[in-house]
Amino acid sequence: MKIKKMSILFLVILGFLILTFSIFKKNPDETIKVKVLDYSNISTSNKYTGIVSPKEVFPIVAEGPTIVEKFLVKVGDEVKKGDQLVVFSNISLLENERILRSNEIDIEDTRLKLSNLESGPLKIELNNKILEIKNLEEELLNKKRTLPILESETKAAKNRLTAYKTLFKEGGVTSTDLSSMTSQAERINLDLINLKSSILLSQDKLTFLKQNYDSLNKELSLEKMILLSKLEKLNLENNVLKKRFEQISKPFVSPYDGIVYTLNSKDGVSLAGGERLLTIATQAKNIVKLDIPIENSQNIKVGDEALVTPPNNEVENASKILGKVSKVSSIAKSSADEKKNLIIETEVEMPDSIHFNPGYFVDVEIFSDLKSNTLSVDSFSIFEDKNQPFVFILDNGVAKKTPIDIGFKTKSNAEVLNLPKGTKIIINPFNIMDGQRVLSE
């Protein structure tokens, strides 16, 4: 009896469920939203916070040792070309004036030494050497002209001596005549030998004089080069000193239009030559600097699009501005916070027409892995059943569970490979059953 009652109860419950399902299926009691499948671009995106930085920053440096009397600007001030930036102490003015005067004295002294070099002892000695060389060359030339004449006379004397010897044997001349002719021939031959020796000696002397002249000339040229080099160096220093003196003799003015980006010194501080006073950011292109966690940087590349939300009151009637990733560092570094996480320094470049003041924090959304002309579905419309992804499509007022093949995929979208364009995808199928009749908004 008990079993019979349980069977009847089971049949009643089963009938009630069948009736409920039938009514539920026939009555469109669920309102849904649909998205028509169409070609679009899909990408992955992440949001970050960055700081606006100028692309062009010009340093303003102290030309020489000086003392800052007072800065006339502060960080963030907008300046025009010619605006006064800083006033220097009179103490540094007097010191630079003393250094400039000392430099001018050195220049005058070097010029005098150069002038004296053209008429001094070394130049006189050099001129004397030139005269000696010319005289010796003339003397040597005369000797060489005499040589063939003396050689001819020597030959003639030898021939006469040979003739006299023959005549002496035949009794044509006396022994006195022969002795006289022999002496004459020997004297002429000795003159020839002496002339040749003199020519050789003069040639050696001329070579020595020329070497001595070259040595003196090199010494003079070297000294002249040293003085000219020193003069050139002093003139360069003079230009720097004059520029330095001009800089500190009156309030220093801005050479650019822009915004004071940093102050690198303070009132009353002494600076060495070449030290930076401040920097000015020109109102050229802006960039946004980002520190992106290394795990999020793998797919970011130069050229990726980025949406930048302007700081308050910076750009009128602009909700977001489209920029592009212009730099992705290839080297990871530790973050500045206590966590010391690895980050990748990244820069986003803004359009030429957009100018933000440096230092503002802005939100940036970077779009990576862009794939164009793709049929895609929102990720929250996709479910899985035994590792098979599926969606619900709207077909003649009925929700149908449909398996899909997924291609390119991001956190928010997935490419659908097996559904045609125009398919109606139910985008909020959380309470929908396969085969259920639904109404679309």
pLDDT tens sequence for the chain (441 residues): 555 556 666 665 665 555 455 544 444 557 888 999 999 887 777 888 888 888 788 898 887 788 888 999 998 888 999 999 998 888 877 888 888 899 999 999 999 888 888 777 878 888 888 888 899 889 989 989 999 998 999 999 899 888 888 888 888 888 888 888 899 989 999 998 998 999 999 899 989 988 988 888 888 888 889 999 999 999 998 998 888 788 778 888 888 888 888 899 889 888 887 889 899 887 767 788 998 888 878 778 898 888 888 876 555 555 788 889 989 998 888 887 777 688 889 998 888 777 777 778 888 988 877 677 888 898 888 988 888 999 999 998 899 999 999 988 877 788 999 999 999 999 878 888 889 998 887
CA distance 191 to 369: 107
For position 23, what pLDDT does the model report?
45
321 beta partners: 308
Read off the amino acid at residue 181. M
pTM, full prediction: 0.48
Token representation of residue 40: 């679009």
What dihedral angle (degrees, nearest 10) is formed by the CA atoms of 206, 211, 216, 221? 120
Q: Distances in Å between the alpha carbon of 185 and those of 169, 192, 199, 205? A: 19, 11, 21, 30
Check if the beta carbon of residue 120 is closer than 8 Å to that of residue 224. Answer: no
Q: For residue 434, how many other CB atoms are within 10 A of its CB?
A: 12
Instruction: State the pLDDT at residue 380.
Output: 85
3-state class of 389 per DSSP?
strand
Query: pLDDT value at position 26?
Result: 45
Full 3-state SS string of 166-207: HHHHHCCCCHHHHHHHHHHHHHHHHHHHHHHHHHHHHHHHHH
User: Residue 256 in 3-state DSSP?
Assistant: coil
Q: What is the pLDDT of residue 423?
A: 93
Residue 106's pLDDT is: 93
Classify each residue of 185-200 as buried b or exposed e, where b means 16 or more C-beta atoms within 10 Å of its C-beta. Answer: beebbeebeebeeebe
Question: What confidence score (pLDDT) does residue 425 get?
Answer: 92
Strands (DSSP E) contained in 294-431 are 305-309, 321-334, 342-349, 361-378, 383-385, 388-395, 398-403, 406-409, 413-416, 424-426
Q: How much is the pLDDT for 24?
A: 46
